[in-house]
Amino acid sequence: MFFQIIDILGTIAFAISGALVAMNKRMDAFGVLIIAFVTAVGGGTLRDVMIGLEPVSWMRNMTYVYVITASAVFAVIFRKRISYLRTSLFLFDTIGIALYTVVGIETGLVAGLHPIICIALGTMTACFGGVIRDMLCNEIPVIFRKEIYATACILGGLTYFLLLQFLEERNYLFIIAGLVVITVRLLAVKFKISLPSLYKKED
């Protein structure tokens, strides 16, 4: 129940962030809805397709469809005032990537995959909705350039598998891994830490 509420909050944050990007690109209502959807479920869809869990999860649970549609409508109606919600959205988004990371790791474990692949699946679940959003909006994906976003997911995943040596109770591990993701992301934003660009100077 607790996890489900956080999952929905994360979905809302991703859907609204997608809708805002789409509106800034002057898309019409259909475009805004699709980008909201893709941002919220794109990562999980890619994960499910790659490991063979089909139909993909949002086709089996209508909650996502309703929540994302409502979030997109909300973003459209309140588009001029949504900057007041910026902090809340950032928090939802941060909680969202933490939860999506954990969901991705869990999915990989259930499929019997190697820990490194599980961490990759967690990061993919959390980050690739935004990557597909940016591809559709004709931008180089922002997470490849600016923010410690994926890195937070990877560190959360590493923590999970390191602690797995000592702890047996998975639920605790998931909570700890999620808290690592959230902490790294908040600290990175607060102290404006980002990975350096690896620009290759021409000889």
Looking at the Cβ atoms of 116 and 162, the one nearer to a second copy is 116
Among 8, 15, 16, 131, binds a second copy (CB under 8 A): 131
Among 3, 6, 31, 67, binds a second copy (CB under 8 A): 31
How far is C-alpha 149 from the chain's CA centre? 9
Binding part of the chain for a second copy, among 96-104, 131-139, 160-168, 184-192 by CB under 8 A, reads: 131-139
Distance, in Å, from the CA atom of 105 to the CA atom of 34, rounded to the nearest integer, reads: 26
**Considering CB under 8 A, how many residues would be counted as binding a second copy?**
60
Looking at the Cβ atoms of 23 and 95, the one nearer to a second copy is 23
Among 39, 45, 71, 94, binds a second copy (CB under 8 A): 45
The yes or no reply on residue 188 touching a second copy (CB under 8 A) is: no
Name all contacts of 92-96 with Cβ < 8 Å and 24+ positions apart: 92/9, 92/10, 92/12, 92/13, 93/10, 93/13, 93/14, 93/17, 94/181, 94/182, 94/185, 94/186, 95/6, 95/9, 95/10, 95/13, 95/182, 96/6, 96/9, 96/10, 96/11, 96/13, 96/14, 96/126
Q: How far is the CB of 114 from a second copy (least distance, A)?
A: 6
Q: Which residues contact 133 (CB under 8 A, 6 or more apart)?
A: 18, 21, 35, 38, 39, 42
Site string for a second copy, 75-114 (x = CB under 8 A): -x--xxx-x---------------------------x-xx
Q: Which residues of 93-119 are buried (b: 16+ CB within 10 A; e: fewer)?
A: bbbbbbbbbbbbbbbbbeeeeebebbb
The yes or no reply on residue 146 touching a second copy (CB under 8 A) is: yes
The yes or no reply on residue 158 touching a second copy (CB under 8 A) is: no
The yes or no reply on residue 170 touching a second copy (CB under 8 A) is: no
Question: Which tokens is 195 given?
Answer: 């990975």
Looking at the Cβ atoms of 168 and 203, the one nearer to a second copy is 203
Looking at the Cβ atoms of 116 and 167, the one nearer to a second copy is 116
How far is C-alpha 22 from the chain's CA centre? 17
Binding site for a second copy (CB under 8 A): 20, 22-32, 34-35, 45, 49-52, 54-56, 59, 62, 65, 76, 79-81, 83, 111, 113-114, 116-117, 120, 131, 135-141, 143-146, 150-151, 154, 194-201, 203
